[in-house]
Amino acid sequence: MGKITGFIDYTRKDYSYKKKEERVKNYNEFIILRSEQELRNQGARCMDCGIPFCHSVGCPVFNLIPDWNDLVYRNNWREAYEQLEKTNNLPEITGRVCPAPCESACTLSINTSPVTIKQIELAIIENAFKKGWVEPKHPFTETGKKVAVIGSGPAGLSAAQQLRRSGHKVVVFEKDYKAGGLLRYGIPDFKLEKWVIDRRIEQMEQEGIEFETDVVIGEDLSAHYLRKTFDAILLAAGAGEPRNLDIQGRGFEGIYFAMDYLKKSNKYIAGELKEHEIINARDKIVLVIGGGDTGSDCVGMANRQGAKEVYQFEILPKPRIWKEDWNPEWPGWPAILRTSTSQEEGCKREWSILTKKFAGSGIKLERVHCAKVDWKMNEATKKMKMVEAPGSDFTLDVDMVFLAMGFLHTEHNRLLKHLGIVFDGKGNININNSYTTNVPGVFAAGDASLGASLVVRAIYQGREAAKEINRYLMK
Amino acid sequence: MEKAGLYDPFYEHDGCGVGFIATINGQPSHQLITDGITILKNLVHRGATGGDLKTGDGAGILIQLPHSFLLKEAAKQKFNLPAAGEYGAGMLFLPHDNSVRKKVIALIEDIIYKEGGKILGWRDVPTCPGCLGRTAMDSMPYICQVFVEFPSLSGIELERKLYVVRRIIENEVSESGISIDEFYIPSFSSNTIIYKGLFVAPQFEEFYLDLKDKDFQSAIIIVHQRYSTNTFPSWPLAQPFRYIAHNGEINTLRGNINKMKAREKTISSDLFGEDTRRLLPVINTDLSDSGIFDNVYELLFQSGFSLEHSMMMMVPEAFGSKYHISEDKRAFYEYHSALMEPWDGPAALIFTDGVKVGAALDRNGLRPARYTITKSGRLIMASEFGVLEIQPEDVLQKGHLSPGKMILVDTQKKRIIYDNEVKSTISRRKPYRRWLEQNRIELRGLFQPPGPVITEPGFLNLLQKVFRYTLEDINMIITPMAENSQEPVGSMGNDTALAVLSEHPQLLYNYFKQLFAQVTNPPIDPYRENLVMSLMSYIGKERNLLEETPLHCHQLKLQHPILTNEDVDKLRNVTIEDFRTATVPIIFNVKENGKNIEKAIKKICDEVVRKVDEGYSLIILSDRGVDENNIPVPALLATSAIHHYLVSKGKRQLAGLVVETGEAREVMHFALLIGFGASAVNPYLAFETVADLKAKGKISEEIKLETAIDNYITAIKKGLLKIMSKMGVSTIRSYRGAQLFEAIGLNSAMINKYFPGTPSRIGGIGLTHIFEECLNRHRNAYNRNNRSNGLESGGNIHYRSFSEKHIISPEVVILLQKAVRENDYSLYKEYAELINNKIKNLCTLRGLFKFKKREAVPIEEVESEKSIIKRFVSSAMSFGSISKEAHETIAIAMNRLGAASNSGEGGEDEGRYNTLPNGDISKSMIKQIASARFGVTSNYLVNSRELQIKMAQGAKPGEGGQLPGHKVDINVARVRHSIPGVMLISPPPHHDIYSIEDLSELIFDLKSANPDVKVSVKLVAEVGVGTIAAGVAKGGADMVLISGHDGGTGASPVSSIKHAGIPWEMGLAETQQTLVINKLRNRVRVQVDGKLHTGRDVVIGALLGADEFGFGTTALITMGCIMMRKCHLNTCPVGVATQNPELRKRFTGKPEYLMNFMRFVARDVREIMAELGFRTFNEMIGQADIMEADNLSGNWKTKELDFSKILTVPLTNKKNKLHFISSNKYDLSNTIDIELIEKSGNALENMQCINMFASIANSNRAVGATLSAEVSKRYGSKGMPENTINCKFTGAAGQSFGAFLAAGITFELEGECNDYLGKGLSGGKIVVYPPKNSQFRPQNNIIIGNVSLFGATRGEVYINGMAGERFAVRNSGAVAVVEGIGDHGCEYMTGGVVVILGKTGINFGAGMSGGIAYVLDQDQLFDTKCNLEMIDVEPVVGKADHKRLYTLISNHIKYTGSEYAQGLLRDWTEIQPQFVKVMPIDYKKALERIKKAESKDTEVVSLTEEVY
């Protein structure tokens, strides 16, 4: 399989990006796939390992990576798509937004540079859509069973599709205006344009999945009704409860949760909101607190809105700088300094910064008080401990702060309360190995039970939960 | 000996020495008897002694009835004998118990009386038991003779009557419950008598007092010295048997027995009339293979086939199209192949009826048979030259039997009849050629290029699911077969679960493992020597074996057993009278049968019988017609069930079975179907899959569909040949139904009913489970909501999540590497937990073992880590398969630990013999001796602590190896004494080990070459490995290594990795039990390897009987290996298994990593020992019963397994320990070398020339090896200046004369020489010429034996005379001049120059990839005898060539005085142009390349050659 010496003959060529000066002018996607021939060469770099760590250790949905790499190399795009589709309902999403732990785990990452797995994944699925191979797959027989899926993020969508294809009637409930959940409202368009989601939802609708949007279960529809009407319920509403920064001055105007900011901005781009209804960073000095992906999205969004200056503070220390292509912590996810495309576009990043206080005048935020911290190893617990560096206090004048410090857990809303759902210590929905909550017939998957995590994990959980629900229904 | 635990006497083997002498004019003499016994004594080194070191394995003689002696003896007993030929004499082994004996005697007398005979008298045979060993004495029978006459009967009629009477006696005694060990009739004849027993030769003479009597005379004497693998050989099994003496082994015995059983019902002979029935059963299954052969041979002979004819029927020579033989002879063999399948296996057979005596070799000719004809009118034939002293002047002719040939002495006609005459007479007895032409059925159009294959994509997909095709099957197995006509190659061994441990539904095939030849019989080389092999067979109705009629060959001739879809259609529509075809579906209808599969199979069997009864002679078993309710019965189950059902009904020979199945796709499947009785197979779904692949563009464009299908069939054919060859079977006719498989995980009910005779030793699942798996597959396929077209991944070879489990999961690799790099024992423990956790990781049998609770001891009291580590070695991995960096790092690590690494088969760079500046030693303490003998020189042998003879390798037992040219870089080539870029091949067999006594010889050679070294023998686990290990121990080995089937490899066919051999748990336990039972355990160490990972693995190994432990794969993983399984492609991305300099730079392994691992394992072992209460390792060894089965924790299938046979400890006593205590002193004290070394003192120390003289005999073996060791120790591989030590010998040199002879030594031999002259020649010079006063023409007589110069690397050899088979095999540097050679000359040669001044045999230059041969081709037919695959034959034109040739011939004359060569030089201008030059194609290219200094590394992977 594959080209035996491909990894020696070709060098890694990932997708390229439009110039940053260009791309910040609009909200459009800016990745450029390589030519078909180049993609085939990239596929040829795959070594068809005896143990494909990409597939078995790296990829949370266990994508059959070596199989489709080889098929792409052999110019057999159709079958590559068939293989891809076996494990992943939303490859067009993961091909865009996944951090690609598969590439960290790629065997080539031991000493050279990994195969561009994510790029190839995207190329396969986009090609398949273009060629019309992505068709609705109707179930062969109807089971007569009904399943309600609460939430239309990656977990909910994957689960719904898998369940429908097993012959069950599926209704997806979404509290927002359109289906897609975090994919639609959390991820900015410049990383994931929304027609991508629409296209997939259209296929799902053709397969017979019903989408009930703008419906809040527990408010608009009662939990009781749901229990009566459906044979099984899947809770897949994500982990929407953001982590707050409860310090002095939190009440000033101009301090927002990142997700609120992104959601409104995305709705504006989609035409669901008017410009004045959103949080606008134009001409503002913006501070993003939190160095993760959400923070990064805020940076990208703020730059596009025309922010005057963008800062991003992270409380953790600066990771080590690593210039090599290979992974020093193979096959794991290496703790190295990464710079996202959004950060590249313009952003002042600081590490080991503790935000101590917000200050301002009246209700308006004007600055933040911060300090440097040192991270020390606690010899007893072997854990890193944070100590404020004496005399390192400083202030930063800002107009706006986005809190992007992660999420606590799923929202503990009336639905969950009425269903009588039990949570784990962290506030996530407690499930057992078969994705079942404490309530028989009620299942949970994705961030709702996992806590905030990757899109690709949500997809996997959605699929696995669907398997369990099917087993439960067909018992 | 009874079955016990895993020990089963069925698997005993024997090897031996045989011989005969005949006075051609038939004049009996006592001298002949004395000479015969002398021969026996001179063959004693080919026999063996048992655990008591005194009991021989058996020896005996067969002679003409010594009438005058018997007259005299009868008179003493007061009875009279009639004239010679009018009475019969029986030699009897009777029970010692008086009352039982009386009963038996009464029975015998009664039967003889009833049959109209008269007892003339009884005679107790005088014996002297005092000379016997203990075991022999204990089992000694009461030996007496009986004399009978049948009035009016004499000659052949009397002989026939005696046969019938003997059979009746045997049957009746056996019915009365008396076993063969108590009652046996060695001979019962009016012509011959047999004296035999449990002796070594010298005891034999003492034991039977008759032998000394001057009147004890004969004109024919056959002698036999046995070497048995166990130590309980029995008296009756000593040879000769009544008509034959056999050296070798019948590999296809099971199939031969079954077929004979089936035929019995229909045999009839006018000569016996009604008595025919009373001869049954023909075969006594208590006998050895040779004994059973004798049974059938006797039947044929007695039924009127002549001795020669019967022999030609049972052991036909090869008659494939590559042989230039008479058409009548070919027709004879072809005709008879419709009557009887060959009894296949290495065989030198001596046969006699008391008038004629002859010898024959089987088609492979792997046993030696040499003869001398004297002017005084005698023919002496034996396994070796020099067994009897003959005055040189008396020698008329010296020769040897070539493969398939025969020689006969007819004492009545008073002449010798040579092969040509014998065979041309026999093959023209009847018009066989016409019979064939007129009756043979050759369907027109059969085996034409396949037509289009029709596929229906949806249905194809469905069927693929029903028959559980996986993507891996299609992508990694079927596609390469269709593209490259060969099975795919893989590496790194197998680490997936056995079928019975797997949670995924398995095909029935996966529960079987291939058997293979090791030690006791050689595998055949299916590539280089495939001309002896054949896939041709006849199918249809067989007729009475004992008759010859034209109708006997009215059967369908199949060139090979793989039928295309059109072929099957043609068969279905055959309209030939008396040859009709019926189709019987092997389909299970769920609606009809519910779940009763047993009933369904019975119905199918009955249906087949009905069709056979209706006269159909070809039954097509078909699983076409699958649908929602119709489930295919596993084709193997159906085939074997029907085959055995027909056998039991006596109807098997009435029809051929063709299997039309969608199930079979890989070689193993076909091998099983045919091995269990199918005549031909049509894999329709595989063909449809190929067509589908073609349609989808997955097969390259240049290959047309027809070609792809042809390729696929070719791949299957090659694979079948390979599987047959592994067992040493040459023809599909004898392979069919031979059941050369072992089942693992099938219960006895299932085996006994459907696969009777197949070993299956740990029980397991049965019919219902197998059927459950079928139902599951079927259900999944028809689950309509499972809309995915995609098949399952497979994951059998490459890891895939949620597919087959692999022991070496990704997590295992990650944890292990982290643990050893960070030196973190807790990480190691996590890793070990992952491996040992049977719930998550059930891949091995040991996963299901559990330690019983025992009283723990404090860990401080347990033997130290350091001392435990000494028991660890790194497994053999050759430099060449892995990189220099990896190889040396492993060696350094093991040496630092005081343990040992193993060089593997690739030789070793001499630079590594020096200690490194930092004090590290990078040489491997264990050096391997494999079949190619790469770099095995005197110096290599001297620089070792242990030498390991690799008989088999876990990943590909029974096969050779191959290092593709692109892995042979300049360094690898230097170390292996070859040319860079030229592919290197290791032959499947060691060409100096075709049987157990040969192995014993090699051990002797190696010990001679380095007297301080320990010798070990590497075997692979299979049923019967225990008895082989016992034989090896008896052969003088210090250690036996039992490898599991899962061992790693640098390159091996995937089907071998997956399907050959068994888990080491079983092989080790069997070995331990057999060695202990045979009282051999305390003198031999036992090592185990095969995916050992953790301390628990080691402890289980120890408990099952291992002293030492080898780590291969794990060692590589610590060095950075990540199980890429790309070793064979040279693209290892971490620099471990590659020679690519760029990739080698990526190697990051350090000695510390491996050292950490070894220490972790030792610590782990120590902790477990403390827990189990063992203070020393030795006390733990062999305590298998402190483990118990823990099957319940496994999956639904494992619950049925029964490990009681594995977890058994044999009874022991003081002398009979469970572990190694001390080696036997290997006695080299009486070798000539001791004397030579003494005399060479000054030469060795000061390089002063010395000349010596010595006489030599065939019992002086490996002469020169120890002397060479002395040279190598002092001067390394360079040796001494030419002719420093000169020794002239006179006489017949024993085997391995001049083995490993070092530079500076010259041996001159006046006389003759046995096999293996100049084995491993390391720079010395050997000159051989016949005695000066002999009068025969040397150039027409064989004066040196087979396999000369095997593995020679340097030196010169001049032979004034002819050499036997395989001259200069694997020569990689020596220069030789010889005046003629036998078959397979210069096979596998990689270097050196060979000049042949006379004829060569066939298959010259097979696999020759280097070196040059000059051959005098006077009849211009030389190229027809060449294997032209790899060589070109050119005229000798270059000046340099002329000069070299002339010089070499001049040297030859100078050293040997050859008159013949002088003649050649006299006529040089005329002779010179008649020489041709043989040039290996690759070699030529390589030489050109070197010339052009193009050292560019090509990345192309050769797929045109078999990359094994």
Looking at the complex, does the CB of residue A86 fall below 8 Å from at least one CB of chain B?
A: yes
Residue range A231-255: average pLDDT? 95
Residue of B nearest to A81 (CA): B790
- From the list A71, A74, A66, the residue with the least C-alpha distance to A46 is A66
Same domain assignment for residues A372 and A257:
yes
pLDDT for A20 beyond 70:
yes
Per-residue pLDDT tens over the stretch B66-91: 999 999 999 999 999 999 999 999 99
CATH number of the domain within which A43 lies: 1.10.1060.10
Same domain assignment for residues A274 and A393:
yes
* Shortest distance, CA B1135 to any CA of chain A (angstroms): 11
Per-residue pLDDT tens over the stretch B804-831: 889 999 999 999 999 999 999 999 999 9
Q: Which residue's entry shows tokens 């030939």? A: B576
Evaluate whether residue A437 is within a structural domain: yes
Q: Which of A131, A165, A195 is the last residue of a domain?
A: A131
Per-residue pLDDT tens over the stretch B182-210: 899 999 999 999 999 988 888 888 899 99
Catalytically annotated residue among B16, B605, B774, B1287: B16
- From the list A1, A464, A363, the residue with the least C-alpha distance to B475 is A1
pLDDT for B1053 beyond 70:
yes
Evaluate whether residue A103 is within a structural domain: yes
User: What is the count of structural domains for chain A?
Assistant: 3
Residue range A104-133: average pLDDT? 97
**Taking CB atoms and an 8 Å cutoff, what residues of chain A touch B1501?**
4
Per-residue pLDDT tens over the stretch B1113-1146: 999 999 999 999 998 888 999 999 999 999 999 9
The B88-94 sheet, strands edge to edge: B118-124, B142-149, B88-94, B184-189
Distance of CA B1429 to the CA centre of its chain: 25
**Taking CB atoms and an 8 Å cutoff, what residues of chain A touch B1147?**
none
Per-residue pLDDT tens over the stretch B632-662: 999 999 999 999 999 999 899 899 999 999 9
Q: Retrieve residue B155's tokens.
A: 């000659």
Give the CA diameter of chain A: 71
CB-based contact A49 B811, cutoff 8 Å: no
SS3 of residue B1014 by DSSP: strand
CB-based contact A331 B811, cutoff 8 Å: no
Looking at the complex, does the CB of residue B474 fall below 8 Å from at least one CB of chain A?
A: no
Distance of CA A101 to the CA centre of its chain: 13
- The domain of A61 spans 6-131
Residue from the list A56, A107, A140 with its beta carbon closest to the beta carbon of B785:
A140
Residue from the list A50, A141, A165 with its beta carbon closest to the beta carbon of B492:
A50
SS3 of residue A438 by DSSP: coil
User: Phi and psi for B811 in degrees, rounded to 5?
Assistant: -60, -40
Q: Retrieve residue B750's tokens.
A: 């299932």
Q: Which of A131, A159, A178 is the last residue of a domain?
A: A131
Query: Which of these ranges, B519-528, B847-856, B1079-1088, B1328-1337, has the smallest mean pLDDT?
Result: B519-528
Evaluate whether residue A45 is within a structural domain: yes
pLDDT for B14 beyond 70:
no
**Taking CB atoms and an 8 Å cutoff, what residues of chain A touch B813?**
51
Q: How high is the pLDDT of residue B979? A: 82
Residue of B nearest to A83 (CA): B790
CB-based contact A137 B1129, cutoff 8 Å: no
> Who has greater pLDDT, A340 or B595?
A340
Contact (Cβ atoms closer than 8 angstroms) between residue A95 and residue A121: yes
* Shortest distance, CA A169 to any CA of chain B (angstroms): 14
Looking at the complex, does the CB of residue B790 fall below 8 Å from at least one CB of chain A?
A: yes
Kindly indicate the confidence band of residue B1493, based on its pLDDT and cuts at 50, 70 and 90.
very low
Mutate to test the interface with B, among A3, A47, A51 (most CBs of B within 10 A): A51
Looking at the complex, does the CB of residue A351 fall below 8 Å from at least one CB of chain B?
A: no
Neighbouring-strand partners of residue A348:
A311
Residue range A192-221: average pLDDT? 95
pLDDT for B696 beyond 90:
no
Task: Using alpha carbons, list the distances in angstroms from residue B4 to B13, B1077, B1209.
Answer: 18, 9, 10
> Who has greater pLDDT, B1381 or B251?
B1381
Same domain assignment for residues A255 and A390:
yes
**Taking CB atoms and an 8 Å cutoff, what residues of chain A touch B784?**
140-141
- From the list B294, B166, B162, the residue with the least C-alpha distance to B224 is B294
Q: How high is the pLDDT of residue A383? A: 86
Looking at the complex, does the CB of residue A274 fall below 8 Å from at least one CB of chain B?
A: no
**Taking CB atoms and an 8 Å cutoff, what residues of chain B touch A55?**
800-801
Q: Which residue's entry shows tokens 């017939």? A: A441
Q: How high is the pLDDT of residue A370? A: 96
* Shortest distance, CA B732 to any CA of chain A (angstroms): 33
Residue range B587-592: average pLDDT? 88
Residue of A nearest to B476 (CA): A1
SS3 of residue B649 by DSSP: coil
Same domain assignment for residues A107 and A175:
no
Q: How high is the pLDDT of residue B15? A: 67
Mean pLDDT of chain B: 90
Looking at the complex, does the CB of residue B967 fall below 8 Å from at least one CB of chain A?
A: no
- From the list B932, B895, B934, the residue with the least C-alpha distance to B915 is B895
Evaluate whether residue A334 is within a structural domain: yes
User: Phi and psi for B1252 in degrees, rounded to 5?
Assistant: -130, 160
Per-residue pLDDT tens over the stretch B411-446: 999 999 999 999 999 999 999 999 999 888 877 666
Mutate to test the interface with A, among B474, B782, B1122, B1499 (most CBs of A within 10 A): B1122
SS3 of residue A370 by DSSP: strand
**Taking CB atoms and an 8 Å cutoff, what residues of chain B touch A329?**
none
What's the half-sphere exposure (Cβ side, CA atoms, 13 Å) at A79? 19
**Taking CB atoms and an 8 Å cutoff, what residues of chain B touch A67?**
471, 793
- Find residues 159-178 of chain A whose CB sits inside 8 Å of chain B: 165-167
Q: How high is the pLDDT of residue B763? A: 92
Task: Using alpha carbons, list the distances in angstroms from residue A36 to A42, A75, A120, A205.
Answer: 10, 9, 10, 31
- From the list B918, B924, B1096, B947, the residue with the least C-alpha distance to B1015 is B947
Contact (Cβ atoms closer than 8 angstroms) between residue B977 and residue B998: no
Residue from the list A7, A66, A86 with its beta carbon closest to the beta carbon of B788:
A86
Q: How high is the pLDDT of residue B1497? A: 32
Q: What is the DSSP letter of B1361?
A: S
Residue of A nearest to B1132 (CA): A47
Residue range B382-394: average pLDDT? 90
**Could you give the ipTM of this predicted complex?**
0.93
Same domain assignment for residues A58 and A199:
no
Q: Report the C-alpha gap between B1185 and B534 in whole angstroms.
A: 47
CA angle B1140, B1146, B1149 (to 5 degrees): 115
Contact (Cβ atoms closer than 8 angstroms) between residue A12 and residue A116: yes
**Taking CB atoms and an 8 Å cutoff, what residues of chain A touch B1499?**
4-5, 8
Q: What percent of chain A has pLDDT over 70?
A: 100
Kindly indicate the confidence band of residue B22, based on its pLDDT and cuts at 50, 70 and 90.
very high
**Strands B556-558, B537-539: parallel, antiparallel or unpaired by DSSP?**
antiparallel
Task: Using alpha carbons, list the distances in angstroms from residue B1249 to A37, A328, B172, B1282.
Answer: 73, 64, 73, 9
Per-residue pLDDT tens over the stretch B1241-1294: 999 999 999 999 999 998 899 999 999 999 999 999 999 999 999 999 999 999
Kindly indicate the confidence band of residue B1495, based on its pLDDT and cuts at 50, 70 and 90.
very low
Q: Report the C-alpha gap between A120 and A74 in whole angstroms.
A: 13
Kindly indicate the confidence band of residue B1504, based on its pLDDT and cuts at 50, 70 and 90.
very low
Residue range B622-628: average pLDDT? 91
For the CA atoms of B606, B609, B610, B614, the dihedral, rounded to the nearest 10 degrees, stands at 180
Task: Using alpha carbons, list the distances in angstroms from residue A461 to A423, A446, A454.
Answer: 18, 6, 11
Same domain assignment for residues A285 and A217:
no
Cβ pairs A/B, distance under 8 A: 105
Evaluate whether residue A249 is within a structural domain: yes
pLDDT for B754 beyond 50:
yes
Q: Retrieve residue A283's tokens.
A: 């001409």
CB-based contact A67 B793, cutoff 8 Å: yes
Evaluate whether residue A137 is within a structural domain: no
Looking at the complex, does the CB of residue A425 fall below 8 Å from at least one CB of chain B?
A: no
CATH number of the domain within which A181 lies: 3.50.50.60
Q: Which of A367, A383, A405 is the last residue of a domain?
A: A405
Q: Report the C-alpha gap between A372 and A354 in whole angstroms.
A: 6
CB-based contact A56 B810, cutoff 8 Å: yes
Residue range B328-346: average pLDDT? 91
Q: How high is the pLDDT of residue B1503? A: 25
Residue from the list B806, B1131, B1148 with its beta carbon closest to the beta carbon of A5:
B1131
Per-residue pLDDT tens over the stretch B1149-1166: 999 999 999 999 999 999
Kindly indicate the confidence band of residue B839, based on its pLDDT and cuts at 50, 70 and 90.
low
Q: How high is the pLDDT of residue B233? A: 64
Contact (Cβ atoms closer than 8 angstroms) between residue A386 and residue A315: yes
Distance of CA B371 to the CA centre of its chain: 26
**Taking CB atoms and an 8 Å cutoff, what residues of chain B touch A83?**
790
Q: What is the DSSP letter of B1061?
A: S
Q: How high is the pLDDT of residue B1508? A: 30
Same domain assignment for residues A187 and A314:
no
Same domain assignment for residues A126 and A150:
no
| HEC assignment per residue over B1252-1309 | EEEEECCCCCCCCHHHHHHHHHHHHHHCCCCCCEEEEEEEEECCCCCCCCECCEEEEE
Q: What is the DSSP letter of B1505?
A: S
Cβ-based neighbours of A156, under 8 Å, separated by 6 or more: A149, A150, A172, A174, A181, A234, A236, A237, A445, A446, A462
Cβ-based neighbours of A245, under 8 Å, separated by 6 or more: A289, A355, A403, A405
Q: Retrieve residue B1281's tokens.
A: 């200046």
Q: Report the C-alpha gap between B1121 and B722 in whole angstroms.
A: 30
CB-based contact B698 A74, cutoff 8 Å: yes
Residue of A nearest to B699 (CA): A74
pLDDT for B1471 beyond 60:
yes
pLDDT for B173 beyond 70:
yes
Q: Report the C-alpha gap between B1418 and B1421 in whole angstroms.
A: 8
Contact (Cβ atoms closer than 8 angstroms) between residue B685 and residue B659: no
Same domain assignment for residues A151 and A35:
no
Residue of B nearest to A113 (CA): B1133
* Shortest distance, CA B902 to any CA of chain A (angstroms): 25
Per-residue pLDDT tens over the stretch A359-405: 999 999 999 999 999 998 888 888 888 999 999 999 999 999 999 99
Q: How high is the pLDDT of residue B596? A: 87
- From the list B553, B584, B757, the residue with the least C-alpha distance to B658 is B584
Evaluate whether residue A141 is within a structural domain: no
Per-residue pLDDT tens over the stretch B393-405: 999 999 999 999 9
CA angle A451, A452, A454 (to 5 degrees): 120
- From the list A106, A32, A126, A115, the residue with the least C-alpha distance to A73 is A115
Q: How high is the pLDDT of residue A369? A: 97
Residue of A nearest to B1144 (CA): A111
- From the list B238, B225, B248, the residue with the least C-alpha distance to B36 is B225
CB-based contact A165 B787, cutoff 8 Å: yes
Same domain assignment for residues A209 and A78:
no
Contact (Cβ atoms closer than 8 angstroms) between residue B568 and residue B682: yes
Same domain assignment for residues A103 and A209:
no
Residue range B288-302: average pLDDT? 94
Same domain assignment for residues A317 and A301:
yes
CB-based contact B798 A50, cutoff 8 Å: yes
- From the list B1060, B1058, B961, B1089, the residue with the least C-alpha distance to B495 is B1058
Q: How high is the pLDDT of residue B785? A: 65
User: Phi and psi for B226 in degrees, rounded to 5?
Assistant: -100, 150
CB-based contact B799 A167, cutoff 8 Å: no
Q: How high is the pLDDT of residue B232? A: 64
Q: Which pTM value belongs to this model?
A: 0.93
Contact (Cβ atoms closer than 8 angstroms) between residue B1194 and residue B847: yes
> Who has greater pLDDT, A462 or B137?
A462
Evaluate whether residue A1 is within a structural domain: no
Residue of A nearest to B1498 (CA): A5
- Number of residues assigned to chain B: 1508
Query: Which of these ranges, B14-23, B213-222, B272-281, B1368-1377, has the smallest mean pLDDT?
Result: B14-23
| HEC assignment per residue over B714-747 | HHHHHHHHHHHHHCCCCEHHHHCCCCCEEEEEEC
Does residue B16 carry a catalytic annotation? yes
Sign of the dihedral defined by the CA atoms of residues B335, B340, B345, B346, in that order: negative
**Taking CB atoms and an 8 Å cutoff, what residues of chain A touch B785?**
139-141, 165-167
Q: How high is the pLDDT of residue B1076? A: 92
